[in-house]
Copies of this chain bind each other. A is one copy, B any other.
Amino acid sequence: MTDAKPSQMTRIQQKNRDLIMQGALNVFSANGFRGATIDQIAKSAGLSKPNVLYYFGSKDEIHKALLTAMLDLWLAPMQLIDPYGDPLEEVLGYVRAKMAMSRDYPRESRLFAYEILQGAPHLTEILGGGLREIVDRAVIILNRWMDEGRLARVEPRHLIFSIWSMTQHYADFEIQVRAVLGSGRDPFAEGEVFLDQMYRKILTP
């Protein structure tokens, strides 16, 4: 409904809808849905509150639009797993990609973290639908590799959970990570080394 095709939008629409998405990302990722206010989003976007509501009819709509806009970016790395690549390197590449996402897109990570914590009220259809299919595709590949003895046997879905949780942990709980590590260290660089070492051990047949 509000997701008119970009081609049908005026330049002003494109620019302002984008500004609002940016502001919404800032505010929602820092405060969660309930903690965010339209005023904050408007301020972060450099627009007035009524003007924000001129482009998106409601706070809910902004949130939903933001989640759907970010979802592709968020799920992209898993679809890059190449069934014809080297199994171990493919998985390690996925881990590295997810870790890079946590480093470069921590706001997106927190946005989804809030949403899932909340019970995913705006993502239920995606959780039960698209996400499951994407995971199933990866699981099929992983299972084949394990069958072929090119990857150690582990429960593939829980393997994926482990990758999600550990990589996103560095973004979502960054404050805790930094508090525990102390200053003068690079959590993401260290985490990448740790995860590489770890998954090598687990997955080497």
* A contacts, CB < 8 Å to B: 30-35, 110, 113-114, 116-120, 127-128, 131-132, 135, 152, 154-155, 157-162, 164-166, 168-170, 172-173, 175-177, 179-182, 190-191, 193-194, 197-198, 201-202
Q: Would A164 and B155 be within 8 Å (CB), given that A114-B117, A176-B116 are in contact? A: no
Distance in Å: Cβ of A58 to nearest Cβ of chain B = 17
Do A175 and B31 touch (CB < 8 A)?
no
Do B161 and A166 touch (CB < 8 A)?
yes
Q: Would A155 and B190 be within 8 Å (CB), given that A176-B120, A198-B202 are in contact? A: yes
Distance in Å: Cβ of A101 to nearest Cβ of chain B = 15
Q: Select A161's contact among B157, B169, B202, beta carbons within 8 Å.
A: B169
Residues of B within 8 A of A162 (CB): 166, 194, 198
Do A179 and B117 touch (CB < 8 A)?
no
Do A154 and B114 touch (CB < 8 A)?
no
